[in-house]
Amino acid sequence: MKTIYFDNNATTKVAEEVLEEIQPLFCDLYGNPSSMHTFGGQIGRRIGRAREQAAALLGCEPSEIVFTGCGTESDNTAISGTLAAAPNKRKVITTRVEHPAVLTVCRELENRGYTVVELGVDSQGRLDLAELGRELDDNTALVTIMYANNETGTVFPVEEIARLVRSKGAVFHTDAVQIVGKIPLNLKDSAIDLLSLSGHKLHAPKGVGILYVRKGTRLSPFMLGGHQEAGRRAGTENVPGIVGLGKACELAAVNLQEENSKVKYLRDKLEKALMEKCPDCRLNGDPDNRLPNTCNISFEYIEGEAILLMLDKYGICASSGSACTSGSLEPSHVLRAMGVPFTAAHGSIRFSLSRYNTEEEVDFTIEHMPAIVNQLRELSPFVPK
């Protein structure tokens, strides 16, 4: 049975071009980039090239790129590193819909005496910028707000937020793990100070990430040890990961248009058909400001996990929450923050597409999904009689 992979917000396939680029780095070009010999220097140059490729995608200077171990590490570093560099400020502002890589760190800060404000969202997952304006004060060290939500795809007006935060003298970090490679970014012209991304969300291997650090931003290193990454992130570099991420950034720049046209066309086709063919369902997220690849639908009266199991029988991979929260029967914290009713939050399914999906895969899913929903509803005690 063929696998139909609609779970690209959880992780993505490594692009063939990326694999080709990194293969020689395991058994042939395996030197340590910090070594003095020519062999090591060759590897160091590959890391330099990856830094340039990443900077080109983000529209920043190569020196502003810090390679990390993953998106989670980038988020943790941004938060902890900013607070360590500004010990006199004791307030952090975030949102209730962040990924656990941010939310868990912020909640832990409360135990250390920080004031942490979690901004709420409306029923479509949108923020109230006036509320952010009211919360920003002289004691605010950091505002950390995601660029796009991993569960609903809702995109926040991050450029506007960054300007507001800068005008109040705080540092602004954004978790851009889900948006990099999907919309064009130009950090040179933006007020974002720190930005996190993760390789495995844009067709690079797992276990590598980037923290963009605007020149002049005060940040204490999180990982201490060697002098790698100009002393900003110690530890021998994950060379294949970094080189693969560089190549993935280059490919993402080339494929941005396709992400926005082909992928969006397929997502829209799938979404429209499912909403039409399945009664009692609702779209979760901001319909006007959304990632082009993400579709989150709640099917009332049935369990998302049951839908996933039935889809799995057809080889269709989707998700009933973020990869980190699925496995728990608690409805997603994002949908709860949006006030999605309990019965709908439990039956939510996220389809997240990539440029590797085809129209046949979408048509196949449209053919089978309504029957799955009907079958489960026939068994459900929650359907009103």
Q: Which residues would be at the binding site for ligand PLP (CB under 6 A)?
A: 70-72, 75, 99, 101, 146, 150, 175, 177-178, 198, 200, 209, 322-323
Nearer to ligand PLP (CB atom), residue 77 or residue 150:
150
CB 174, min distance to ligand PLP, A = 10
| Dist. CA 283–CA 298, nearest whole Å | 6
Q: Which amino acid is at 200?
A: H
Nearer to ligand PLP (CB atom), residue 22 or residue 97:
97
In what helix (H) or strand (E) does residue 140 lie, and over which residues does it extend?
strand 140-144
Nearer to ligand PLP (CB atom), residue 121 or residue 306:
121
Nearer to ligand PLP (CB atom), residue 145 or residue 281:
145
CB 67, min distance to ligand PLP, A = 12
Q: Residue 168: how many CB atoms within 10 A of its CB?
A: 15
CB 323, min distance to ligand PLP, A = 6
DSSP category for residue 64: G
Nearer to ligand PLP (CB atom), residue 217 or residue 319:
319
Q: Residue 86: how many CB atoms within 10 A of its CB?
A: 17
CB 92, min distance to ligand PLP, A = 17
| Dist. CA 107–CA 286, nearest whole Å | 26
| Dist. CA 344–CA 296, nearest whole Å | 11
CB 108, min distance to ligand PLP, A = 16
CB 328, min distance to ligand PLP, A = 15
Burial tier of 348 (Cβ tally within 10 Å: 0-12, 13-18, 19+): buried
Q: What is the largest CA-CA distance in the chain?
A: 76
**Which residue's CB atom is positioned nearest to ligand PLP?**
71
CB 369, min distance to ligand PLP, A = 24
Q: Residue 255: how many CB atoms within 10 A of its CB?
A: 20
Name the 3-class secondary structure at 62: helix
| Dist. CA 133–CA 111, nearest whole Å | 25
Nearer to ligand PLP (CB atom), residue 54 or residue 101:
101
SS3 track for 163-201: HHHHHCCCEEEEECCCCECCECCCHHHCCCCEEEEEHHH
Q: Is 106 a catalytic residue?
A: no
203 vs 149, 247, 266, 362, CA distance in Å?
A: 19, 9, 19, 21
Q: Which of 27, 281, 317, 324 is catalytic?
A: 324
Nearer to ligand PLP (CB atom), residue 252 or residue 302:
252
CB 106, min distance to ligand PLP, A = 13
Name the 3-class secondary structure at 251: helix
| Dist. CA 173–CA 196, nearest whole Å | 8
What φ, ψ does residue 212 adopt, rounded to 5°? -80, 130
CA dihedral 305, 126, 143, 234 (to 10 degrees): 40
Q: Which amino acid is at 8?
A: N
Q: Residue 178: how many CB atoms within 10 A of its CB?
A: 27
Nearer to ligand PLP (CB atom), residue 178 or residue 228:
178
CA atoms within 13 A on the CB side of 151: 30
Positions marked catalytic: 324
